[in-house]
């Protein structure tokens, strides 16, 4: 499946991933392992889903290596997206 991939590297729990889209799309935050399964067409776990309003924010659920995949769910069109990461709020306890 055609998609955009954003390797976010190592993120702390409580960080916020902000995805800005030009059009609606599927936004999926997942571990690198789950991303490899996504790419191979196997079962995988993710946070997010179909996004119709931009910007869209997702809170990182645990420390680790994270990837965002943005796709059109098999529909045709051009994917236009940007991704930013905000650190956990000050005073956030893991």
Averaged pLDDT for residues 65-90: 89
In a 10 Å sphere around its CB, with 0-12 CB exposed, 13-18 middle and 19+ buried, how is residue 7 labelled?
exposed
CB of 55 within 8 A of CB of 49?
no
pLDDT for residue 92: 59
In a 10 Å sphere around its CB, with 0-12 CB exposed, 13-18 middle and 19+ buried, how is residue 27 labelled?
buried
Averaged pLDDT for residues 3-13: 94
CB of 71 within 8 A of CB of 79?
yes
Is residue 83 over pLDDT 60? yes
CB of 7 within 8 A of CB of 64?
no
**Could you tell me the pTM of the whole model?**
0.89
């Amino acid at each position: 499946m055609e998609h955009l991939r954003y390797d976010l590297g190592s993120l702390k729990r409580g960080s916020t991933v902000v995805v800005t889209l030009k059009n609606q799309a599927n936004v999926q935050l997942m571990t690198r392992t789950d991303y490899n399964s996504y790419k191979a067409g196997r079962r995988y776990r993710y946070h997010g889903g179909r996004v119709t309003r931009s910007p869209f924010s997702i809170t990182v659920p645990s420390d680790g290596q994270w990837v965002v995949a943005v796709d059109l769910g098999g529909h045709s069109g051009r994917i236009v997206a940007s991704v930013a990461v905000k650190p956990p709020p000050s005073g956030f306890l893991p």
